[in-house]
Chains A and B, each alone.
Chain A
């Protein structure tokens, strides 16, 4: 093994040698430069290998041949080697990225870079406190100079402010060091810790540690003393910003970690609080930020705050070992790689405004990595931060630190607002055709290598994480990786075949593995997946980005069913969310809707995570099995509510629904059925899980309220649907209502109620997929969503007409189709339960549903044909195939409902034995107090209605032989002066009179509520960030003010 001191010798020696060898030419000096960085990386990797694989124990290296305190010692243990390896490898990749920039500036930048890396290594390795000062200054000076070396005005100003802040910080650091030395008689950190100065009770020890920690907190760029840091991130060359943000902060974090044991619990708590305030404040301010690199600066500082909070909490709860080591490393490495990567991409894009980042679409590889880095920062699976955040929340829950969990999740959610919005701009915002991004192998390859490292580490986390076994994801993720890699090569139809084959394979493998209601959901997810993929054959070209996203979503959905523990469930939930987000945002005008979908989902997901953590704690703190939901001992109502709200964001219950109409309506035509018919059921699955668990405790009140919520959702959804002119939006609102029925039925908590819920879930999947496919295909053909622009298409599109007709009959719940069964079950259920008032709302909203269903078929297919659509032909066969498969399925289960309900009934009986439905063949009966209450004879209804239908139809045909067709010009308006052309259309706003009567129910109260929240956050952000007024002097003032605040908090204003 190479003595670690050679890292310092190499960096320093070559650094000083370079100016001399410069005379030998650029090639020689560049080779020396890279050779040095490579050797340093190799040395550190070699040590890392020794520590991880060979179980090497921690080592001390002494300088000057004597032991401390007479000499300075370097310590190298696992943590040190992890940090220096990360730093040195990043330095090497960063050097590749920056080499052109460096060559333009000249050899001095090479030297400065080596010195900066030397300083960072030293900060990690040294165990001497004065040495920390020295290395901090070496890092500082070389960084200042490196930032300013391009001589641009902005970088000079930023560097100047940085130097002032750094100067003030080092004054306090020196004060702290000298007082500590005075107090303990040593400069060696271990010696100081052994002397435990705070416990010795000397006043001077308190102030010494105060100065020491304060100086390091400034270097950690904590709020509010960090205005200078933002300027540094904004103005520096992004290559250097990346290094500062990742490696620079890593080293300082580690230095702080080394001296942390000098503090006491009060300090640990204070540091954690400072960290979390920085995390939240920085992210809030980020919301208003439009400048890309400055925004990354806000995000960097926020992440540092989170790391600091985790470290403070770790020390507070017994030191950084075990869990906290895992947490901090996971959070650290995500930030480390992702932030460097994003800064470097910013250096390639070279667009100041985040709205102009659409140019990234010119490079799919960079686009992919940008997304990966952002999702890694946000802690999505499979990235390390996901594991870190879960463990952090779980560990804090175990300590009953619920306020902390709330703060951390809140901060993360706020961070998501600007990162997801930014990514939305990248994916969708319009860009000038002639805009380009920089080309150049060095920068691209650096980002590529960094991204590859991120995915390698993520893969290791997925395989070796100590939380649970995620092997289910192994092959699916490989498949997704394959889809990503070949995305730009394979044509869409091959990917479609592969995807359908993949889903079919999993359907085959898991067919017998699921029991009870999981089986029903498996059918919905997998059959739904295959059916909704079939229309994909229409697409020409490659359809880049579609298949990986769709498969991620379906893998997530399947993962929900496979999950045996809460972590796997949550992983699946997040995969599903990512996949569906990328599907939804594909629509032309989907960007804002995808953003709100993501934010609601993420908010819901965090509630679910919180709820799971509480489940773990309040079921005895043993393990994370999903079954623990059934053995919660206390606070069960609270946990139930959190999880319920989490799942209700996905089912779009009233109040949490505002994302749905836009997201579903603006999505591509084959995506709408995926996210509507299939995806919404994930929330239902979650609700069923927790409602089963609620049988073990008293949640009657909450469930009663959920029943009301379901009824109101149903009414509002249907009313809103009736007032839509956009065909897909109409269907989207209808979904909200249907999910309201399901929630209402579940809340009844009886045998027959649950049967209704599952029947509705199954049926909504079928008829909503049918309607969205049919209407979606028409919309694609006509290139408009507006129903008043359609009309009379029955002749051109007879097959679509039949689909929609079957769809609306099934949905409306009139006999004989399956919807009737749903209504029969539901009405029985609420009457038997005695929920008359809510039942009345449900019944009324059922009537409202007729309005929009009639409007749908009337406006699109009936009436006169529009001139411009006279030559329109039937929609593509690929849309019709899944529609007719669904029609067959609807017919079958309408006539033989027991196929679905039989087994489900047995399963429900085991939980809820009251209000049984009794089956005789395919005839269902319900009983009240032992007396026959209702009968549903599906097969006979089918036959009778069939006969009536055929009779009436033939009678009608015979009677109306002489009827004259109404043509376009038959419609006469008398003395009417229309203001716009569409108002003259026969089916435009046909329910305006209902709107007058009931419109108050459809007022955008909820939308207004959420916009109020958004506006408030924006104003707070804009208010707080005015603190950073750009004046370097003000920043010094902030630093000193920050000191006074911490002083008063810690010492209560006493004199040390």
Chain B
């Protein structure tokens, strides 16, 4: 579990690194996505309980015994929501980038600094 948690934080750091160092807006968004994935992994790993299975009620997990057999289902539900929202935001950002590119023919974030101070 700890390994997964560390992996999550590493992804988070890589994501932020990408956001801060890449000039290409699409790459910045990819950085954001990587960071989001990192958070999602952290969330999953926090709800994980050793030697238990996914919180899906099927033949492998009888209803009566589910409490003792599955990991904490709430973080998993949260992650699902977070993924959905993340996808929506990322799609929106990318579509904006397309629009910006059409206007200025540039993907570099340095070219979009008209508004300042």
Binding site for B on A (CB under 8 A): 130, 133-134, 137, 140-141, 144-145, 148, 151, 153-154, 156-160, 163-164, 166-168, 170-171, 174-175, 177-179, 181-182, 187, 230-231, 234-235, 285, 288-289, 294, 1025-1026, 1028-1033, 1036-1037, 1040
Contacts and interface: CB of A to CB of B under 8 A. Distances in A.
Nearest to B104: A153
Q: 5 smallest A-B Cβ distances: which pairs?
A: A1030-B116, A1030-B113, A231-B115, A178-B43, A137-B85
B39 interface: yes
B89 A288 contact: no
Contacts of A134: 81, 85
Contacts of A1030: 112-117
A130 B35 CA distance: 19
Nearest to A285: B117
Contacts of A170: 85, 89
A163 B43 contact: no
B45 to A, nearest CB: 9
12 contacts: A151-B99, A160-B112, A163-B89, A164-B32, A164-B93, A167-B32, A167-B93, A170-B85, A174-B78, A234-B115, A1028-B116, A1032-B112
A929 B68 CA distance: 103
B10 to A, nearest CB: 14
Contact of A153 (B20, B39, B43, B100): B100
Interface in B17-61: 19-20, 23, 25, 28, 32, 35-36, 39, 42-43, 46
Given A160-B93, A168-B32, A171-B12, A1036 B19 contact: yes
Interface of B: 12, 16, 19-20, 23, 25, 28, 32, 35-36, 39, 42-43, 46, 74-75, 78, 81-82, 85, 88-89, 92-93, 96-97, 99-100, 103-104, 109-110, 112-117
A156 B100 contact: yes
Contact of B112 (A157, A174, A179, A181): A157
Majority secondary structure, B binding face: helix
A106 B25 CA distance: 28
Contacts of A159: 96
Nearest to B40: A174
For A171, A230, A289, A1040, which residue has the most chain B Cβ atoms within 10 angstroms? A171
B36 A181 contact: no
A845 to B, nearest CB: 48
Contacts of B28: 164, 1032-1033
Given A167-B32, A171-B39, A234-B115, A1040 B110 contact: no
Given A288-B117, A1028-B117, A145 B92 contact: yes
A181 B46 CA distance: 9
A1025 B109 contact: no
Contact of A157 (B19, B75, B82, B115): B115
Given A144-B92, A178-B75, A179-B46, A1033 B20 contact: yes
For A153, A178, A288, A1032, which residue has the most chain B Cβ atoms within 10 angstroms? A178
Contacts of A168: 19, 32, 35
A672 to B, nearest CB: 40
A1033 B89 CA distance: 18
A133 B93 CA distance: 19
Nearest to B82: A174
Contacts of B25: 160
A154 B115 contact: yes
A166 B117 CA distance: 20
Nearest to A69: B74
Contacts of B12: 171
Contacts of B109: 1031-1033
Contacts of A148: 96, 99
Contacts of B110: 1031
Given A130-B78, A145-B92, A178-B75, A158 B115 contact: yes
Contacts of B43: 174, 178
Nearest to A231: B115
Contacts of B35: 168, 171
Nearest to B35: A171
Given A178-B78, A1032-B112, A156 B19 contact: no
A527 to B, nearest CB: 52
A287 B98 CA distance: 36
Given A157-B115, A174-B43, A1030-B114, A163 B103 contact: no
A156 B103 contact: yes
A156 B115 contact: no
Nearest to A1024: B117
Nearest to B116: A1030
Nearest to A152: B103
A187 B81 CA distance: 14
B60 to A, nearest CB: 24
Contacts of A285: 117
A259 to B, nearest CB: 17
A1032 B22 CA distance: 12
A151 B99 CA distance: 8
Contacts of B36: 167, 171
B68 to A, nearest CB: 17
Contacts of A153: 100, 103-104
A248 B104 CA distance: 31
A285 B75 CA distance: 43
A524 to B, nearest CB: 49
A52 B99 CA distance: 49
Contact of B39 (A145, A174, A182, A1032): A174
Contacts of A151: 99
A732 to B, nearest CB: 38
B96 A1040 contact: no
B92 A157 contact: no
A671 to B, nearest CB: 38
Contact of A177 (B20, B78, B116): B78
Contacts of A181: 46, 74-75, 78
Given A151-B99, A1032-B109, 9 more contacts: A140-B89, A141-B89, A157-B100, A163-B92, A166-B89, A167-B32, A174-B78, A230-B115, A288-B117
